[in-house]
A and B are shown apart, each in its own frame.
Chain A
Amino acid sequence: MTLMSEVGQKAFNLGVPLAVHMDVTYRCNERCVHCYLDHDDHGEMTIAEIKDTLDQLAEAGVFFLTLSGGEVFMRQDFFEIVEYARRLMFNVKIKTNAVMIHEPEARRLRELDVDTIQISIYSHRPEVHDAITKLPHSLERSIKAIRFLREQGLRVTIANVLMTVNSSDHMAVQKLAAALDAHYTLDPTITPMMDGDTDVLALRIPGEELTDVFQNPALVGNQEEFCAPPQPPSQEDLEGYSCSAGHSFCYISPYGDVFPCVQFPLPTGNIRQQKFRDIWNFSPQMKEVRSIQAKDLTVCSSCSHVTSCTRCPGLAYLEGSMRGPSTADCEKSFYRTGVPTANMLRQGLSKPHSTSGRSAPLIQIRALEMQPGEIQTVEAQPIQVSA
């Protein structure tokens, strides 16, 4: 186990919110065809409220802070937020479309020692990328911004959302990332709109095409290992938990609402009305989320994939029960291994019915992105004194 994994496990066991994703606005200068957000401002937090929230997060033990949106630079006070966060010594990652980043902004981000800038690129072809963002010249502007950021020595990750309209372009985007000396991450997740509208799910790629992704070593690393059939679960596996949502991670919206995860829209409290620590420690919803073990899952506890499936409790919640299956992840497990899931078998399906375009969004894979376990770790020389 790496040092980073140990720390993550320790935070998980202690119930410390090690990482928080905070959207500072839902406003955006792009109108991406697949976006699930309502971009109107319904009363986002003021700079004073955000600073107070950051104070509370630091006090609660948050180390990794992701600032996202909407488009973060739509806030004119965004640099004030980053500066304040860095003074509180958070590790700050920013998600942006980058079209408003020029040389001065890149330099300021370097001065603030931001850890990583993640930028959405949908295609290497302007006519495809710009049609998705509905902002003319957005690909050109985003690529220029990546060059400015790289010139400053900042780490950049290109996030490539995979959907029907750009599904043939991901290899070229990966090459573009390499040419720009940026990391690359592929994400085939299409999430329903915040108002519940699922029309956008028609953009998801057919499940059969996932096989190509899963069998591409450039995306998944060791393909044989990645696609290996599932192993039978042990008792320890059945007493395990799905993910870090609500255990050592949570999401805060621009309006101060706290959720277990970005993709888990279960309201647990609002920091305009309660202290973050009270929500984190005492919210009945948070407690319920963190109580669920693999053995408690209504269908998945008997599934052969239970130990290796990326079952997302948030997507399961969107389907009706946080203890139930997430069809999107069932689909992923099936197309990765060829082995039917318990959820499919109970419905008498030999393969997922992915053509409906109405089931929950597909999958999330993070190929070729630096994982916590891959971060270079050096343990400090222990001081030879006894307490």
Chain B
Amino acid sequence: MPENCIYIARSSAIAARALAGEMMVMHSADSTFFTLNEVATAIFQAADGHTPLRDIVRDRICGQFDVDPEQAQADAEQFVTELSSHGILIMSNQPLAPETP
């Protein structure tokens, strides 16, 4: 998948809630449970299906945290790839319609 046009959306098969600034996420299929730190939570919350990941990193990460942009982009891609492998996020190189139950 081209790295410069990744779109991400939250799966409809998950449960999620913020607890003290950190997101709890559970997948309904296998009850796999994640907690996301503050930065990962910012990406997760911005996963609307139509904002490119690079824009999310620029606006929600680099704008809020003291971080090297290239490193942040690389870490963000690794993060969304992992959550995608667990069915928490959906990745595409095309804009995605948000999933609803």
Which residues of A are at the interface with B, using a C-beta cutoff of 8 A?
3-4, 6-7, 10-11, 14, 16, 18, 58, 61-63, 83, 86-87, 89-92, 111-115, 153, 155, 370, 375-387
Contact = CB atoms under 8 A, between A and B. Distances in A.
B75 interface: yes
Nearest to B31: A375
Contacts of A62: 17
Interface in B9-40: 12-20, 24-26, 28-40
A370 B28 CA distance: 14
Given A112-B101, A113-B28, A385-B39, A378 B66 contact: no
A16 B18 CA distance: 11
Contacts of A16: 19-20
A380 B82 contact: yes
Given A383-B79, A385-B61, A386-B67, A63 B31 contact: no
B39 A89 contact: no
- Decide if the interface of chain A is mainly helix, strand, loop or mixed: loop
A302 to B, nearest CB: 36
Contact of A61 (B19, B26, B28): B19
Contacts of B16: 89
Looking at chain B, what size class is its interface with the partner chain? 35 or more
A248 B3 CA distance: 42
Interface of B: 12-20, 24-26, 28-40, 43, 61, 65-67, 71-72, 75-76, 78-79, 82-83, 86, 100-101
A18 B76 CA distance: 28
24 contacts: A6-B35, A10-B20, A61-B17, A63-B17, A63-B19, A63-B24, A63-B26, A89-B14, A90-B17, A113-B13, A113-B29, A115-B15, A115-B31, A155-B31, A370-B31, A375-B31, A376-B31, A378-B33, A379-B34, A379-B35, A380-B35, A383-B39, A385-B65, A387-B38
Given A89-B14, A112-B101, A114-B28, A384 B33 contact: no
A264 B101 CA distance: 33
A376 B11 CA distance: 19
Contact of B17 (A58, A92, A153): A58
Given A61-B17, A381-B79, A383-B39, A7 B34 contact: no
Contacts of B66: 386-387
Nearest to A114: B28
A10 B19 CA distance: 8
A384 to B, nearest CB: 5
Given A370-B31, A380-B82, A383-B72, 8 more contacts: A7-B33, A10-B19, A61-B19, A86-B12, A115-B26, A376-B32, A385-B39, A386-B65
Residue picked from A14, A58, A86, most chain B C-beta under 10 Å: A86
Nearest to B100: A87
Contacts of B75: 383-385
A114 B29 CA distance: 9
Contacts of B15: 63, 89-92, 115
Contacts of B20: 10, 14, 16
Given A7-B24, A87-B100, A386-B66, A377 B32 contact: yes
Given A111-B101, A112-B101, A387-B66, A382 B19 contact: no
A8 to B, nearest CB: 10
Contacts of B83: 380
B54 to A, nearest CB: 15
A321 B83 CA distance: 48
A58 B40 CA distance: 20
B101 A91 contact: no
A382 B6 CA distance: 20
Residue picked from A16, A382, A383, A387, most chain B C-beta under 10 Å: A383
A6 B13 CA distance: 23
Query: Across chains A and B, which 5 residue pairs bring their CB atoms closest together, nearest first?
Result: A91-B15, A86-B101, A113-B28, A385-B67, A63-B17
Given A87-B100, A380-B82, A380-B83, A3 B18 contact: no
B37 A383 contact: yes
A357 B38 CA distance: 54
A25 to B, nearest CB: 22
Nearest to B26: A91
A111 B43 CA distance: 26
Contacts of B39: 383, 385, 387
Given A7-B24, A386-B66, A381 B17 contact: no
